[in-house]
Amino acid sequence: MIWDNLLIALQAIRANKMRSLLTMLGIIIGVAAVIGVVSIVQGLDYVIATQMEGVGVTYMMVIPRQDLQDPDLAGREVTLTYEDGLAIMERATGIKHFNPIFVRGESTNAGGRQYSTMLLGVGPYHQEVANHWVDRGRFFSDLDIQRSARVCMVGQEVIDELELSEPILGTDLIVGSSAFTIVGIMEYQGEMLGQNQDDFVLIPITTARDIYGVEAFEKLRLDFQAESPETVDQARDQMREILRERHRLPEGMRDDFRILLQEELLDTIGGVLATVTSVVAGIVSIALLVGGIGIMNIMLVSVTERTREIGVRKAVGARKSDILIQFLIEAVTICLFGGLLGVLGGWGLGILGAKAIPGFPPAHVPVWAIALGFGFAALVGIFFGTYPAAKAAALDPIEALRHE
């Protein structure tokens, strides 16, 4: 019976193609909007999660916290120093590597060409902690760190912008007002959200301190790598205790630093993306509501047009439940067709939208999003198709046969 009713529904859709398409329009728009947004958001979430997993679950980041709304921190000079990191490495257990990071925008010059880039002063374990390795050449040695050597690593974007020609290794590069020798080229990473991840110059952290002074090193970012995932929580607690002691924070006062773990970073990013998806889904649900009302109106018209058909079916033995199921399946079929077109359209919109934003990751449509699109469509069909179907089922067969 269900198969027969499905065939009847398909015949009705084929017989009224334009009306059926207009009926589906609200469903198509609503589902396409949901799938389009989800595909873009999930693509971003997928790439970020992949990159964070590449860093590893043992990754830990400590940054200064400056909160102007907090009376304890508003008038306080928040610092996070190289010595803080050394104290953590000396006293905390379960920490494998420490990588201090000094960040500054700086101009570079080579062969008469200039280019502004990001200068990063890093420690000897930058590769291990950031999971970003040398592609050609070598990384800083312990001797480079000890002697504050004027050597540097470059990203591919700096090479392209300065039009450096081979051999690049050993080339002199002016960074700010200081001369450096390029000893290595870092692995290519590409763009993320319009930001080129290969646009940087790395120099030893000690060299950066000699050039820019100790005062410039009072708001560093301190990156750590724990021995294992099991030691992360213990290490975090010890780091917090050590930093509170060094910063002389009395009991009850908030930390003037933040310790971020990979899991927390992913949860924060995931929460933001989930909020965006929920807000957009709430907005486009209005389109589904409009589409559902349209379907109910069209189905009521269809019941009126087919009143005599309903009377004939009842006269030959069709029960109320048979008529109810017939019209309900027709409503759900229309919605599922609209859902299919919406999923395909939303997928296409997601791909075009991701490509239209420079550096944005490719759209990614998970299976659950497709199931959600079809589920929404089916629910709309059931909800808004029930009343017309019930009205058709309740028709008196004698009155229906008299209908002209």
Q: Give the start-to-end residue ranges of the domains of the chain.
A: 2-51+267-402, 66-255
Residue 7 contacts by C-beta under 8 Å, 6 or more apart in sequence?
none
Q: What does the pLDDT look like over 43-67, one tens digit per residue?
A: 766 666 665 554 567 888 888 876 6
> Helix, strand, or coil here: 17?
helix
- As a whole-number percent, the residues of the chain with pLDDT over 90 amount to 11
Q: What does the pLDDT look like over 18-32, one tens digit per residue?
A: 777 777 777 777 778
Q: What does the pLDDT look like over 163-198, one tens digit per residue?
A: 888 888 988 999 988 999 999 999 888 776 557 788
Residue 310 contacts by C-beta under 8 Å, 6 or more apart in sequence?
303, 323, 392, 395, 397, 400
pLDDT of residue 339: 80
> In this predicted structure, which of 87-91, 246-250, 354-358 has the lowest mean pLDDT?
354-358
pLDDT of residue 386: 77
Examine the pLDDT at 400 and tell me if it is beyond 70: no
pLDDT of residue 293: 76
pLDDT of residue 259: 82
Residue of 309, 336, 316 lying closest to 395 (CA atoms): 309
Q: How far apart are CA 390 and CA 331, in angstroms?
A: 12
pLDDT band with cut points at 50, 70 and 90 for residue 338: confident
Q: How far apart are CA 268 and CA 193, in angstroms?
A: 17
Question: How many CB atoms neighbour CB 130 within 10 A?
Answer: 19
pLDDT of residue 152: 93
Q: What does the pLDDT look like over 140-170, one tens digit per residue?
A: 988 998 999 999 999 988 998 888 888 889 8
pLDDT of residue 38: 76
Q: What does the pLDDT look like over 366-376, one tens digit per residue?
A: 777 778 777 77
Residue 8 corresponds to which tokens in the numbers above? 């009847």
pLDDT higher at 125 or 278 = 125
pLDDT higher at 37 or 192 = 37
pLDDT band with cut points at 50, 70 and 90 for residue 200: very high
CA atoms within 13 Å, Cβ hemisphere of 115: 21
Burial class (CB in 10 A: 0-12, 13-18, 19+), 126: buried
CA atoms within 13 Å, Cβ hemisphere of 211: 23
Examine the pLDDT at 300 and tell me if it is beyond 60: yes
Compute the average pLDDT of residues 80-108: 88
Q: What does the pLDDT look like over 242-279, one tens digit per residue?
A: 888 888 888 877 878 888 887 666 676 666 667 766 77
Q: Three-state SS string across 129-168, please?
A: HHCCCEEEECCCCHHHHHCCCCEEEECHHHHHHHCCCCCC
Q: What is the mean pLDDT of the chain?
A: 78
Helices (H) and strands (E) in the chain, counts: 14, 12
pLDDT of residue 180: 93
pLDDT band with cut points at 50, 70 and 90 for residue 108: very high
pLDDT of residue 51: 58
pLDDT of residue 71: 62
Looking at this protein, which amino acid is placed at residue 25? Answer: L
pLDDT band with cut points at 50, 70 and 90 for residue 139: very high
